[in-house]
Chains A and B, each alone.
Chain A
Amino acid sequence: MIPTAQLRPHRPAQPMFYLAPALILLAVFFVAPILVNAVIAFTDMGPNLRVGTLTVENFLRIVQRDARLPLVLMTTLIYVAATLLLFNVGLGALLAIASTAIPDRLGNLFRGLWLLPRMSPAVLYGILWIWIADPSPSGLLTMVTAPLGLPSVNLRNDFPLLLIVLANGVVGASFAMVILTASIRAIPQHLSHAARADGASEWGVLRHVVAPALSAPIRVVTLYQALSLLTTYEYILLITGGGPVYDSTPYALYIYRRAFESGAYGYGAALALGLMAIGVALTLLQWRVSRMHATFAAPKIEIL
């Protein structure tokens, strides 16, 4: 590896000057909110936003008394794992492979269709799912199941977790699809030609040429999407509201409901610190397990 100093002998005189915009953005939108949140977590801040006393009461409440938390954590685990594996990575990879195996024009159209939910406003998307799941005769699912003689299913009431996994999965699959399509396109054509010349089947090409090229991007996608699923809740809030009761409330939505439904801001902030801890722990774990450092390591060939 060539040291950077040799490539660019004239280092800028004031590196801080160039870094300042990025640092300010980080400080204002990233570090400051964390600090403010950390302080609020140790207060009794309620609906009137006033701080009465500094206290660890919120944390005691989390670890000792909050009987909803075990269910919420379990919901989070199921929701994140199922959405991630089945859709955000699984379906995404499948779409990428399928849409690159067919003629380009058709593939583009196909991918465009899958991008539609991502492009539509969240509220519209939420309303569409509510319509799909509506158990009355005018709901889409019922329109499909009724002629088949199947009883109408009330997804929002009876299978809320399945519904939010489906809704988030369909919108979330497109990210992996786009990234992995690019990865597949980047595989030198001659590799698969050579493999086929050597008598490899379609499956063999997929297994030995395409799959190895996808493993690194899949690791990135998994990490990124896991964190994203852990912290976002807008579709859930729109479609089930986290209900019935707390049945489809993952941790991030739980924080929102505690803090903003009844103005328990101190308690919400303490819960949010917990989410940060979970997020950092998950990232470190995944980094370790999926050997992410290899992905971000300097290239082994020279780039000039």
Chain B
Amino acid sequence: MTRPFALFATVAISVLSLSPALAETITIKLSTLAERSAPARITNIEAAAEIMNQQFKAAGVDKQIVIDAKSSSAKGWDDLALELLKAFAVGQGPDISVLPHEWIGQFAQDGYAMAMDDRIAATPWVYGDILPVLWNAAKAADGKIYGIPQDAEIRMFFYNKDMLRKIGKDEAFINGLPEKVERGEFTLDDLTALSKEVVDKGGAQYGMLHRPNVGIDYLMVFQSFGVRFADEQTGKLIFPKAEMTKALAWYGRNAKEGVTPVDNTAMSWDAIQSAFKQEKAFIFHQGVWALAWQVGTSMGATWPSDGEGYFKKIGWIPAPAAEKGGQPMNLSHPLLYMVNPKGEHANLAADLVALATLPYFNNQHAVTSYHTAISNAQTAMPIYKENWALSAASPMMAHARFVPNHTKFSSYNKVLFSGLQAVETGKMTPEQAVDFIADELQLQFGAEIDIRDAVAK
């Protein structure tokens, strides 16, 4: 026997004798958007898999689950959804994906999302306690539930109290602002005037900053002006021109008066967030999860990490009413875990989601990423209660609304955002922008959109 052959035989025999000891590996693919502050969307599923693996081991089952997680670098959730649709179309869809709730309709319609109603009914030990309002966000047009709430949150305007002190406002005014907004006494125009005052008196470089790209936050303002995005009876998307004009005009005025920079939509996230953190901007409009970088040392400035210190510096308000006596608005934008019904291990994937949804795990996500609880039990747990930010955010859910679960809403929102950009940059008047948006919506959706003069027909 030659030496190479002997070597080969040894290796072959050892591999063969080893292989029965190797467990059957079940790979579960998980897909989400890369977000540094929210690693638990992945680690919770991994932890669930670990529990199952231990159970397999204890029961002598020769199987091992491996989570193959992909954090997409897509620009935003909508782009991730488009990416996923492409993957599913060629049979490469992941077993579990994290998606914003308004996309669930599209995925359900295409057969990419598992209907969960039976599972939810059969698994009360986890699903029995989920906030009912979140189930509504997970329903497709057929009324069935196709996703499991992964997190919840609340959007708001953050305002810098130190700047108000700097321009000579008293503590009663500064700390009384949220209540005045709540009662509908302090309107969006008052907010513009206040921001202008702060800028004019040298309190800040920017009055108000909002997100630079398509998203959800600015829709709160539209809702304050009475905009509704879908007909409540028919579920059809609507575009009410009168209310839209008013809302866009507010953004136009902000830009014209120097409250919002005309190129807010061309700024980078980094520039916007650090402007607020480094106290160059009076107001920043986003959501509670922004606390992940607001507290502590990120973005080039250090802010207090304790509730008392933080709220001495920063206050929160919902979108104020458009007119005195009106209703302030909040938006919540829950994410969902969606299970691929065609996956080889679809049931196992659904079980992993169930485990990862347990209060213990969801709280891991909630407290590290500053997202509000999805179940009642979570809010009672010490780790959640000790989180002053989440405890303060939960009551804001009272006004929370959701964007419609319509398959075309994300495209609708993109068009709306370009209209907002057109007004803010001074390229169009609000009226022109409304015509532009209406024309674009008509072009893209035809009969699927109801373009009206006002919400009330």
Contact = CB atoms under 8 A, between A and B. Distances in A.
A binds B: yes
Given A240-B266, A244-B421, A262 B106 contact: no
B262 A48 contact: no
Given A240-B266, A260-B82, A245 B418 contact: yes
Contact of A262 (B265, B411, B428): B411
B443 A66 contact: yes
Interface string A58-84: 000100011110000000000000000
Contacts of A135: 263
Interface in A244-290: 244-247, 260-264
A33 interface: no
A156 B212 CA distance: 14
B443 A157 contact: no
B104 to A, nearest CB: 14
Task: Specify which of B85, B263, B439, B440 lies most central, judged by the most chain A CB atoms within 10 Å of its CB.
Answer: B263
Interface residues of B, number: 28
A204 interface: no
A49 B428 CA distance: 34
A157 B425 CA distance: 7
Contact of B89 (A49, A67, A245, A264): A49
A243 interface: yes
Contacts of B81: 47
A138 to B, nearest CB: 10
A47 B421 contact: no
A60 to B, nearest CB: 11
Contact of A245 (B90, B263, B411, B421): B421
A154 interface: yes
Interface residues of A, number: 25
Given A67-B443, A262-B444, A156 B421 contact: no
B414 to A, nearest CB: 6
A50 interface: yes
Contacts of B399: none
Interface in B30-82: 81-82
A245 B437 CA distance: 11
Given A245-B427, A262-B410, A48 B265 contact: no
A149 B168 CA distance: 32
A48 B106 contact: yes
Contact of B86 (A49, A240, A241, A264): A49
Nearest to A61: B443
B110 interface: yes
Interface string B409-422: 01100100010011
A263 B444 contact: no
Nearest to B81: A47
Contact of B85 (A49, A65, A66): A49
A156 B85 contact: no
B89 A156 contact: no
Given A244-B422, A263-B85, A157 B263 contact: yes
Mostly, the A contact residues are loop
B427 A247 contact: yes
Contacts of B89: 48-50
Interface string B78-96: 0001100110111000000
A68 B106 CA distance: 27
A67 B414 contact: no
A263 B82 contact: yes
Contact of B266 (A49, A67, A244, A260): A244
A264 B425 contact: no
Contact of B422 (A47, A245, A260, A262): A245
B414 A157 contact: no
A147 B56 CA distance: 72
A244 B427 contact: yes
Contacts of A263: 82, 85, 411
Given A156-B263, A157-B266, A245-B427, A264 B439 contact: no
B265 A243 contact: yes
Contacts of B90: 49
Task: Specify which of B110, B410, B418, B436 lies most central, judged by the most chain A CB atoms within 10 Å of its CB.
Answer: B418
Task: Specify which of B81, B89, B266, B418 lies most central, judged by the most chain A CB atoms within 10 Å of its CB.
Answer: B266
B414 A262 contact: yes
Interface string A127-157: 0000000010000000000000000001011
A67 B263 contact: no
A71 B240 CA distance: 26
Interface string A24-68: 000000000000000000000001111000000000010001111
A156 B266 contact: yes
Interface string A192-236: 000000000000000000000000000000000000000000000
Task: Specify which of A49, A66, A241, A245 lies most central, judged by the most chain B CB atoms within 10 Å of its CB.
Answer: A245
Contacts of A49: 85-86, 89-90
Given A154-B263, A245-B421, A262-B411, A48 B443 contact: no
B318 to A, nearest CB: 29
Top 3 A-B pairs, shortest CB-CB distance = A49-B89, A244-B425, A262-B411
9 contacts: A48-B88, A65-B442, A67-B439, A157-B262, A241-B266, A243-B265, A244-B263, A244-B265, A261-B414
